[in-house]
Structure 1
Amino acid sequence: MGNRSDQWSDLKARLGAGAVMVLIGLIGIWMGGHVFHLLVALICGVMVWELVAMLRPGDAYLPLKLGALTGLAVLVSVYLPVGLGLPVLLAPALIGFGQLERHRTIYLSFTAMILMAGFGLMQVRDDYGFGWLLWLVVVVVTTDVVGYFAGRAIGGPKFWPRVSPKKTWSGTAAGWAGAALVGLLFSINTGASLQLVGISIAISMASQMGDIAESGMKRKMGVKDSSNLIPGHGGLMDRFDGMLGASVFLLVIGQFIGLPFGLG
């Protein structure tokens, strides 16, 4: 029984901090424009700050510098023509690569993903409006929340016990089911094709891949959380790792299946 209660020991802190993050996120998404651009740039900058702090512990300057550079690049890129904005967007990944002595590949991979995810989120909000960005966010959040509760309530075989001992196959599959329901509801209410159900499941899987990738990186670096910024959650990378995977995946597949799905 003690182990069961321990599974829920962080629930109160997670719910409180989670509610604040959801509120801030919804306000930013609703307002869009400059407010949303600034919010995304700030989140991307903080994530790279956390990343570099993990890769180069003890160095306060380089994480701050690369985090600030990332936030600035994300913000500037969205206001430039695409052909000019993309080199600016990717510059922090290569600049940081040249300044790290170790773990360069990890830095390059995660920073490029953070930069592209931030750009993709801004593009979805600017081009397709509140509703479709809300769909993406709800799919990712539902995957995480349903997976969290189902995994702890049902238990069963672990997904990757050596790296992420709390993740279970039951929670993983429950996340897919939750995403499918979100896709179905959005399809019914927007008139989009029922293929949105399958796309939502794929987005859910991509978000889980982002989560897995970050878990593996943290295990390699010997840290539990990316930072201690958010009570019960760790850092922004710990909360937005799923959004990274989902956003980059949507940025890629959106070129082939078209947005918005089955409308117009």
Structure 2
Amino acid sequence: MSGSNWNDLGERVMSGVVLVGVGMAGVWIGGLIFHLLVALICGVMVWELVSMLDDRRNRSALLLGGFAGVVTFVAIEVPGGWALPLVLAPSMLGFGRMERGGVTYASFAALILLAGYGMMALRDEYGLVWMVWLVLVVVATDIAGYFAGRSIGGPKFWPRVSPKKTWSGTVAGWIASALVGWIFVAMTGAGTGLIGLSIAVSMASQIGDMAESAIKRRAGVKDSSNLIPGHGGLFDRFDGMLGAALFILIAGQIVGFPPGVGGL
């Protein structure tokens, strides 16, 4: 094992602690503060997305990112039927503003805003406990994947797109998420199906991670931006949460959420 594998660990840990602290504070407070935090994150991620895909990085990126943040915040404050066109509006606006990558932008911008809406709805409807569960599944997947991948190594998961991702790290993420699910089963009285759902959410977060890696590979950049020391941009840190929140938004309608709680 090379010592260079861990050169960025200290910087990553410090930045990660700050990110988790701010994020968990927003989750704990909930309500308007959490809505504003999620809207800000979605806006910055859209700004990073435009900056990666398009050569025209100034006015278009700021315009689309700012618009995305505003409509994300407004969407959760209006009835659901009106929220749907709002979350798609930045995608539609982008078609006329992008010189290249318009289809990719439109697709991912819609996913970002839908995921943001899903996180706010989860916190509002199901409360603190289940939002914390979602965050912990994603964080456990990321941390277990990082340490297992760098200490165990082994076959690469998708070397053409993400050379550092390994199968050992991927499976470690599933195991860590199952442990989180088991803990919440014991704490909440949810059915054991929550463990399987936790693993599926872990997989969805990894898909979100790989999807963002594919965009960066296509754009020829290492990070979505340089906002966060040791981590890159917000898109680099919240790509997993993007996939997880989208999955819960969809799967929760199919299997019932939380499983085994309140007759579901």
User: Structures share a fold, TM > 0.5?
Assistant: yes
Letter in structure 1 aligned against 2:90: P
> Which runs of 5 or more residues in structure 2 are unaligned?
none
- The whole-number CA distance in structure 1 between the counterparts of 2:86 and 2:167 is 40
- The whole-number CA distance in structure 1 between the counterparts of 2:91 and 2:157 is 31
1:255 counterpart residue number: 253
1:173 counterpart residue number: 171
Residue 134 of structure 1, aligned match among 132, 135, 139: 132
- The whole-number CA distance in structure 1 between the counterparts of 2:108 and 2:7 is 30
- The whole-number CA distance in structure 2 between the counterparts of 1:181 and 1:59 is 42
Percent of matched pairs sharing the same residue? 60
- The whole-number CA distance in structure 2 between the counterparts of 1:203 and 1:59 is 33
- The whole-number CA distance in structure 1 between the counterparts of 2:233 and 2:17 is 15
> Per the alignment, in what secondary structure is the counterpart of residue 244 of structure 1?
helix
- The whole-number CA distance in structure 2 between the counterparts of 1:58 and 1:111 is 17
1:70 counterpart residue number: 68
Letter in structure 2 aligned against 1:221: A
1:157 counterpart residue number: 155
- The whole-number CA distance in structure 2 between the counterparts of 1:76 and 1:120 is 14
- Residue 98 of structure 1 deviates from its aligned partner by 2.5
- Residue 109 of structure 1 deviates from its aligned partner by 1.4
1:12 aligned to 2:10?
Answer: yes
- The whole-number CA distance in structure 1 between the counterparts of 2:208 and 2:82 is 28
- Residue 85 of structure 1 deviates from its aligned partner by 1.8
Divergent runs of 4+, >4 A? none
- The whole-number CA distance in structure 1 between the counterparts of 2:57 and 2:100 is 13
1:98 aligned to 2:93?
Answer: no
> Per the alignment, in what secondary structure is the counterpart of residue 69 of structure 1?
helix
The C-alpha deviation readout for 1:70-89, integer Å capped at 9, x for no partner, is 00000001111111122112
Residue 228 of structure 1, aligned match among 220, 226, 229: 226
Residue 197 of structure 2, aligned match among 199, 208, 213: 199
**TM-score when normalising by structure 1:** 0.98
> Which runs of 5 or more residues in structure 1 are unaligned?
none
> Per the alignment, in what secondary structure is the counterpart of residue 166 of structure 1?
strand
1:24 counterpart residue number: 22
> Per the alignment, in what secondary structure is the counterpart of residue 157 of structure 2?
strand
Please, which moves more after superposition, 84-93 or 228-237? 84-93
- The whole-number CA distance in structure 1 between the counterparts of 2:121 and 2:95 is 26
- The whole-number CA distance in structure 2 between the counterparts of 1:88 and 1:209 is 25
1:82 counterpart residue number: 80
Please, which moves more after superposition, 253-262 or 24-33? 253-262
1:33 aligned to 2:31?
Answer: yes
- The whole-number CA distance in structure 1 between the counterparts of 2:134 and 2:212 is 20
The C-alpha deviation readout for 1:158-193, integer Å capped at 9, x for no partner, is 111122111110000000000000000001110000
2:206 counterpart residue number: 208
Letter in structure 2 aligned against 1:100: M
- Residue 101 of structure 1 deviates from its aligned partner by 2.4
- The whole-number CA distance in structure 2 between the counterparts of 1:165 and 1:83 is 42
CA RMSD of aligned residues (A): 0.9
